[in-house]
Every structure is written in structure tokens, then in C-alpha cells.
Amino acid sequence: MSNPLVSIIMGSDSDLPVMEAAAEMLKEFKVPFEITVVSAHRTPDRLVEFSKEAHKRGVKVIIAGAGGAAHLPGMVASISPLPVIGVPVKSSNSIDGWDSILSILQMPGGIPVATVALNGAKNAGILAAEILSVGDDELQQRLINYKEDLKNAVLEKAKKVESRN
Ligand code: RP5
């Protein structure tokens, strides 16, 4: 996609089934994004180059997902001036998911990573859109509509549950 505002990166293509949910939300909100693999441990030079260059290419928010010893979001945040949203992935090398969560969540002071729930790529996509919507009224309206739809869906379910009695 040309001129991406959000960059979705992940440690391995095995993270893609989880990370696709972020891409789906960005498509829904019509936010241009790119998606690729950057491994902290297997391609450290690529990580450094990506992190130094992303903001110069016009990217505004980075979503980074990884599993196990999940150093990708934190290392990107240590180099890039952009907000980084971290997605802990329950991967093949993750014991129970807590390793991924804590590796991404427990950042030292000065280097924030906005960490979403385990496999929470959907919320990462929404959060990235919300960050961008601060300067984009049309995008903000799409987010307002989305939340209205969520509310209506719950009210519909409430009616169904209530009508069972
Ligand atoms: C992490 O190791 C990746 O983010 C992935 O979650 C996990 C397993 O990677 P593969 O061995 O499947 O490539 O770095």
C-alpha cells in the first residue's frame, strides 16, 4: 500500500494468523498500512534500519507483534520516535503466553510500548486508528460509528437474552 501511515511488523510469518486482525481493522477504518516481518533476533540489522527510517517514510504508528522472548516491540521502541503498540503472541516457542506478555509489557522507564492483550492484534489496529484520528476528523467519525455499532449489537443481544424469560 502506498504511503502507509501504520507499519505492522512481526517477528515471524508464523505470527501472521494473529497479526492479520490488526490489518483487518485498519482496512475497515481505511487507514493505509504496510505489513512485513522484522525479527529482533534473526535480522537485528533490519530491525535497526526499519526503526531508524520508519518515521522518515511517513509512518506514524508502529504495531509490532512477537512471541516467546518477544524483544521486537521494545527494541523498535528503543530506536524509533514513533508510538509502538506491542502485541504479545502465543507462539510455538511461548510457554503459556506470559513470556510474550511480560517481555513486551515490562519496559524500563523512558521506552514505552503500549501493550495490548495476548493475541490482541484487533485492538492494536483500533488503537493505531484512534491515535491517527486525533488529527483526522473523518477517521474519528468512522471510529465513533464503529463504537455505535458495537453498542447496538450488544443492545440487540440483550433484547434476545431478555426475551427468553
Ligand atoms: C518469535 O518467535 C516470533 O515472533 C514468533 O512468535 C516466534 C516463533 O518464530 P518461528 O520459529 O515460528 O519463526 O521471535
The answer to the question of residue 23 being in a domain is: yes
**Of 8, 9, 10, 15, best ligand 1 pocket probe by most atoms within 8 Å of the beta carbon:** 15
Which cell numbers in the block locate residue 37?
516481518
The answer to the question of residue 12 being in a domain is: yes
Quote the number of domains for the chain.
1
Residues 99, 2: Cα–Cα separation, whole Å: 35
Q: Phi and psi at residue 50, in whole multiples of 5°?
A: -55, -45
The answer to the question of residue 71 being in a domain is: yes
The answer to the question of residue 1 being in a domain is: no
In the reported structure, the alpha carbon of residue 127 is separated from the centroid of ligand 1 by a whole-number distance in angstroms of 24
HSE value, Cβ hemisphere, 13 Å, CA-based, for 41: 8
Q: In which region does residue 76 sit, left (phi positive, over 0), alpha (psi from -120 to 50) or beta (all else)?
A: alpha
Summarize pLDDT for 13-35 with one digit per residue, the tens.
999 999 999 999 999 999 999 99
Kindly report whether the global pTM for this prediction surpasses the value 0.85. yes
The answer to the question of residue 95 being in a domain is: yes
Q: What integer pLDDT is reported at residue 6 of this predicted model?
A: 98
In the reported structure, the alpha carbon of residue 52 is separated from the centroid of ligand 1 by a whole-number distance in angstroms of 23
Q: Which amino acid is at 1?
A: M
